[in-house]
């Protein structure tokens, strides 16, 4: 690892302890409204029993960024009612007009991409260069893609004994979208775009640790002409505003990205009204490296798993290497790790920034401590980067870990990888280890043998398989996880499948009134 540079303050002019009580916070030079966006209006929380705001901090230096409206039962209900009331007109809006408006929102995202990138980096600590070059363009692409896809949906007609069967994609109704903090606006737009394109109205609840770009997005959508109530954003804690949202009887779809325990709570709450849920959950994905692989490429793929400080659901955190190439692979891997720069995510040269929150780092460190106590060895990393402060965790690789151990079985969601080996030539054992967790989100494979690639890919339990690559994916492809990694698939027509109630209208050839 290159020596870290000190991290300058995120809000240099702000008071470290008490940001001014206002409905606007200035974050990275960008004004952000800190209230909910409900029914086309900005609303503060009005609770007699709980504090009406909570403080949002930057993971970069822990500085307070904003006092955010803290929603509860009343705000959840108000947002769902706004979405319910706006639904009939939005559902009846011609698809071409809905698509036009989504493209207009995408134009707004592109026009404000620099602001969105700067605020997102201040709020979630991911690299500014990634937000500028990858994430914000992808947010606009999500909107454009589903706008265009809507217009290309197949409205199939079938014929049965002279009767016509006509299939239509009817919007289901108000959709609640709940997102995590690791990729806030990217994941929000990935859900908002198909939900709105399909003709549903939306209530978005972003994660409490990263509320800011959702608020900017509401402004952008409003300025682009999205009618009041079509998109609503409520801020606050999952337990306070998320729970009443997912239990609301007027909600017709719930799309959730987050952890398995929260998904279980949402599934239980939504069961009361039999509301269909789409769950994109955690992972503990393998990276298999066979002896016939390009080991330089395999090492590149392994180091990529430290992106976003390891806070990527798809990350291949379990490296499984064929015994005879273990040392050669490890040499290439460590060579790359020494060249990584950890530090301020706003710096162009930084490769690894902070983790999201001191509480989360504590959790990450707990996994590593327990693994070390159980006999694991840290070949690199193994603790906090103390030169940078509490939120920065060293990129870590642990060896001497058992398949059944906690560190191999549980999602850490930090820059922590494990390395195991499988016997030379034992493809069965490689697949057994790869599939040997309760997750099934993704799997990555490095091999020079095309036949092996086909054979092994077919045996993975995973929603996405990458062969000699990582993270590349077309929006038309299905995305989701197997086992505890999720329920359902989104992407392409699968998104419309989820957000629509498909209807078949069968028309007889007879019974028509004669005119003229």
Active site residues: 280, 313
Dist CA 34 CA 309 (whole Å): 27
Asked if residue 282 binds ligand NDP (CB under 6 A), the reply is yes
Query: How many residues in total does the chain contain?
Result: 516
Closest CB to ligand NDP among residues 280, 322:
280
Scanning 7-15, 233-241, 318-326, 430-438 for contacts with ligand NDP by CB under 6 A, the matching segment is 233-241
Asked if residue 410 binds ligand NDP (CB under 6 A), the reply is no
Q: What share of the chain is helix, strand, coil (3-state, %, to 5)?
A: 40, 20, 40
Asked if residue 227 binds ligand NDP (CB under 6 A), the reply is no
Cα three-residue angle 469-121-12, rounded to 5 degrees: 150
Closest CB to ligand NDP among residues 259, 399:
259
Q: How would you classify the pairing of strands 41-43 and 36-38? A: antiparallel
In the complex, the smallest distance separating the C-beta of residue 243 from ligand NDP, rounded to whole angstroms, is: 4
In the complex, the smallest distance separating the C-beta of residue 170 from ligand NDP, rounded to whole angstroms, is: 26
Per CB under 6 A, the list member of 110, 243, 406, 429 interacting with ligand NDP is 243
Scanning 236-244, 378-386, 394-402, 449-457 for contacts with ligand NDP by CB under 6 A, the matching segment is 236-244
Dist CA 418 CA 402 (whole Å): 10
Closest CB to ligand NDP among residues 199, 244:
244
Ranges within 411-430 binding ligand NDP (CB under 6 A) = 411, 413
Candidates 210, 494, 235, 470; CA nearest to 357 is 210
Asked if residue 77 binds ligand NDP (CB under 6 A), the reply is no
Asked if residue 439 binds ligand NDP (CB under 6 A), the reply is no
Asked if residue 448 binds ligand NDP (CB under 6 A), the reply is no
CB nearest ligand NDP: which residue? 238
Dist CA 480 CA 278 (whole Å): 9
Asked if residue 495 binds ligand NDP (CB under 6 A), the reply is no
Candidates 27, 30, 29, 90; CA nearest to 56 is 27
In the complex, the smallest distance separating the C-beta of residue 304 from ligand NDP, rounded to whole angstroms, is: 16
Q: What is the dihedral of CA 390, 392, 397, 398, to 10 degrees?
A: 20
Complete DSSP assignment for 242-256: IHHHHH-TT--EEEE
Closest CB to ligand NDP among residues 269, 319:
269
Per CB under 6 A, the list member of 46, 96, 239, 477 interacting with ligand NDP is 239
| Cβ–Cβ < 8 Å for 219, 185 | no
How many Cα atoms sit within 13 Å of 160 on the Cβ side?
7
Beta bridge partner(s), residue 80: none
Scanning 35-43, 88-96, 174-182, 445-453 for contacts with ligand NDP by CB under 6 A, the matching segment is 174-182
Ranges within 189-218 binding ligand NDP (CB under 6 A) = 205, 207-208
Ranges within 102-141 binding ligand NDP (CB under 6 A) = none
In the complex, the smallest distance separating the C-beta of residue 320 from ligand NDP, rounded to whole angstroms, is: 20
Q: Please give the DSSP secondary-structure letter assigned to residue 195.
A: H
Q: Crossing angle, helix 136-152 and helix 492-499, to 10 degrees?
A: 70
Candidates 215, 221, 216, 219; CA nearest to 236 is 215
Closest CB to ligand NDP among residues 343, 481:
481
Q: Which residues contact 482 (CB under 8 A, 6 or more apart)?
A: 440, 441, 461, 462, 463
Scanning 46-54, 242-250, 444-452, 491-499 for contacts with ligand NDP by CB under 6 A, the matching segment is 242-250
Closest CB to ligand NDP among residues 295, 408:
408
Scanning 118-126, 127-135, 257-265, 466-474 for contacts with ligand NDP by CB under 6 A, the matching segment is 257-265
Dist CA 487 CA 478 (whole Å): 12
Ranges within 289-318 binding ligand NDP (CB under 6 A) = 313
* Binding track over 453-492 against ligand NDP, x by CB under 6 A: ----------------------------x----x------
Asked if residue 175 binds ligand NDP (CB under 6 A), the reply is no
Per CB under 6 A, the list member of 232, 262, 420, 421 interacting with ligand NDP is 262
Q: Which residues contact 271 (CB under 8 A, 6 or more apart)?
A: none
Candidates 316, 288, 309; CA nearest to 441 is 316
421-436 exposure pattern, b = at least 16 Cβ within 10 A, e = fewer: bbeeeebeebbebbbb
Dist CA 147 CA 145 (whole Å): 5
Candidates 175, 61, 72; CA nearest to 125 is 61
In the complex, the smallest distance separating the C-beta of residue 182 from ligand NDP, rounded to whole angstroms, is: 5
In the complex, the smallest distance separating the C-beta of residue 396 from ligand NDP, rounded to whole angstroms, is: 18
Q: Which residues contact 261 (CB under 8 A, 6 or more apart)?
A: none
Closest CB to ligand NDP among residues 186, 293:
186
Site size for ligand NDP, by CB under 6 A? 30
Asked if residue 441 binds ligand NDP (CB under 6 A), the reply is yes
Q: Please give the DSSP secondary-structure letter assigned to residue 135.
A: I
Residues that bind ligand NDP in the complex, under the rule CB under 6 A: 178-182, 205, 207-208, 237-239, 242-243, 246, 257-259, 262, 265-266, 280-283, 313, 411, 413, 441, 481, 486
């Amino acid at each position: 690892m290159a020596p870290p540079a000190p991290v300058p303050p995120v809000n240099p002019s702000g008071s470290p302890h008490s940001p001014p009580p206002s409905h606007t916070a200035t974050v990275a030079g960008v004004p952000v409204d800190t209230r909910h966006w409900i029914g086309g209006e900005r609303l503060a929380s009005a609770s007699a029993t709980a504090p009406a705001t909570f403080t949002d901090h930057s993971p970069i230096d822990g500085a307070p960024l904003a006092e955010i409206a803290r929603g509860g039962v009343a705000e959840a209900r108000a947002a769902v009612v706004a979405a319910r009331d706006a639904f009939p007109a939005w559902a009846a809006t011609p698809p071409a007009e809905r698509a036009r408006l989504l493209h207009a929102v995408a134009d707004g995202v592109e026009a404000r991409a620099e602001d969105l990138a700067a605020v997102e980096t201040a709020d979630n600590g991911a690299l500014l260069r990634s937000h500028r070059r990858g994430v914000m363009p992808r947010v606009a692409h999500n909107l454009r893609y589903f706008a265009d896809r809507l217009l290309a949906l197949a409205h199939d007609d079938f014929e049965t004994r002279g009767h016509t069967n006509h299939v239509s994609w009817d919007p289901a109704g108000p959709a609640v979208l709940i997102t995590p903090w690791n990729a806030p606006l990217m994941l929000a737009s990935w859900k908002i775009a198909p939900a709105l394109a399909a003709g549903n109205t939306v209530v978005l609840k972003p994660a409490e640790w990263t509320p800011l770009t959702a608020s900017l997005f509401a402004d952008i959508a409003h300025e682009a002409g999205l009618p009041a109530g079509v998109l609503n954003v409520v801020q606050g804690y999952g337990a306070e505003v998320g729970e009443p949202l997912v239990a609301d009887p007027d909600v017709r779809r719930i799309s959730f990205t987050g952890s398995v325990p929260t998904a279980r709570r949402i599934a239980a709450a939504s069961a009361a009204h039999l509301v269909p849920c789409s769950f994109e959950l955690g992972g503990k994905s393998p990276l298999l490296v066979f002896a016939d692989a390009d080991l330089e490429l395999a090492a590149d793929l392994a180091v990529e798993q430290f992106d976003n400080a390891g806070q990527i659901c798809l990350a291949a955190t379990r490296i499984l290497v064929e015994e005879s190439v273990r040392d050669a692979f490890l040499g290439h891997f460590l060579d790359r790790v020494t060249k990584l720069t950890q530090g301020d995510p706003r710096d162009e040269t930084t490769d690894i920034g902070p983790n999201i929150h001191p509480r989360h780092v504590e959790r990450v460190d707990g996994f590593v401590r327990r693994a070390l106590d159980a006999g694991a060895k840290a070949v690199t990393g193994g603790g906090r980067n103390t030169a940078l402060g509490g939120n920065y965790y060293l990129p870590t690789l642990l060896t001497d870990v058992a398949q059944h151990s906690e560190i191999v079985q549980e999602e850490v969601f930090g820059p922590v990888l494990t390395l195991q080996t499988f016997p030379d030539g034992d493809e069965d054992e490689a697949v057994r280890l790869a599939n040997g967790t309760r997750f099934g989100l993704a799997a990555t494979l490095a091999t020079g043998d095309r036949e092996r690639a086909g054979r092994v890919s077919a045996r993975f339990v995973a929603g996405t398989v990458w062969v000699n690559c990582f993270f590349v994916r077309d929006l038309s492809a299905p995305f989701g996880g197997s086992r505890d990694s999720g329920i359902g698939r989104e992407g392409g027509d699968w998104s419309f499948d989820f957000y629509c109630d498909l209807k078949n209208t069968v028309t007889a050839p007879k019974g028509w009134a004669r005119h003229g």
